[in-house]
Amino acid sequence: MLVQRGREVGEMEAELKEMLDDLESLGRSLPDPSRNASIDKLRSRVKHLSELAKFAPVHRSKVKDMSAEVVDSNPYSRLMALQRMGIVENYERIREYSVAIVGIGGVGSVAAEMLTRCGVGRLLLYDYDKVELANMNRLFFRPEQVGMTKTDAAVQTLSDINPDVVLESYTLNITTVQGFETFISSLKNKSFRPDKEGSGVDLVLSCVDNYEARMVVNQACNELNQTWMESGVSEDAVSGHIQLLIPGETACFACAPPLVVASGVDERTLKREGVCAASLPTTMGVIAGLLVQNTLKFLLKFGHVSPYLGYNSLKDYFPTMEMRPNPQCANAACLERQATNLTGLCL
């Protein structure tokens, strides 16, 4: 009973069946047998339509508990198997976690789909853009969604894939004063898990395509003392990176923008995705995969959570490194976090 046939689908099937019956009686009542061939042709076409109708969109209903039972109808059986194989101690905890994804583009939308399929508790989605045909070289969005806001289109697809995930969408520009206030208050909201310490989310994923927006995510997370992960794909579409940022503990985005270190290119000179840059579904898919893998390891506490992982696709080179905060960082909130971090240590 996991899968519910939509009402419309049921009506369509009933309608087609009646049509078949009508055709049958029409064939019997026709005096001229030479017409029978065309009636038969019509009947076979209606039969074909009935077959097609069986594959019309169906929606699965919500699942109360994640089951480890290995049956075709259990959406979580292969994920719960991670527990039995000893990789994850308690997979079902994923339902308690909230992840905020800022920027629902080539990386963010794919990351959102991955987390949705993993059954994450709650996703908060932020973007102000609309889906365009020019986005179709990347994954996730479909041509029929052109013109919709990326947040609406994402909710449409994600809620179909997994209705268990609580989706919150925010169509706004976080770099404006008003957008920033809404961004901060949505991260602070603890109604999903009132007993949670700190903010209302467990992790923020930055999947934006420009320096200004990254600096804004950095500002918000420094102020909220919120752990976040940054991701990026270069303007020439052949390299990218992910980075873990723990305010006061690791370098913040203003301490040292990652690409300066990785490639010697100043991050501020990078152009953005879209009209002024190239993009590939492959590189963006790889980066989204690395980002969500790191997210799962961070949330479900398995393996090693990478502080920084680069991806150079031309040489298949994956550099890693760790970065301490800059004591001369220009960001005041970062310096405050560094200070509390020091006093919190037993020296």
Residue ranges that bind another protein, judged by CB under 8 A: 129, 132, 173-177, 180, 211-212, 215-216, 219, 254, 266, 268-269, 271-272, 274-276, 330-331
Q: Which residues are catalytic?
A: 276
Q: Which residues of 25-59 are buried (b: 16+ CB within 10 A; e: fewer)?
A: eebeeeeeeeeeeeeeeebeebeeebeebeeeeee
| Beta-carbon contacts of residue 37 (< 8 Å; ≥ 6 apart) | none
Please, which residue, 74 or 186, has the CB nearer to another protein?
186
CB-wise, 157 or 173, nearer to another protein? 173
From the list 70, 64, 71, 140, the residue with the least C-alpha distance to 105 is 140
245 is written with which tokens?
């940022």
Question: Which CB sits closer to another protein, 122 or 214?
Answer: 214
**Please, which residue, 128 or 192, has the CB nearer to another protein?**
128
Rounded distance between C-alpha atoms, residue 55 and residue 257, angstroms: 48
Residue indicated by tokens 């985005």: 253
Residue 245's nearest CA partner among 298, 302, 188 is 298
> Smallest gap, in angstroms, from Cβ of residue 210 to another protein?
8
Min dist. Cβ of residue 239 to another protein (A) = 17
C-beta of 274: minimal distance to another protein in Å? 6
Shortest distance in whole angstroms from residue 263 CB to another protein = 14
Handedness of CA 142, 146, 150, 154 (dihedral sign): negative
Helices (H), 139-210: 150-161, 177-188
Q: Say which DSSP state 95 is in.
A: G
- C-alpha 101/C-alpha 179 separation (Å) is 15
- Shortest Å, Cβ 159 to another protein: 26
Smaller CB separation from another protein, 150 or 241: 150
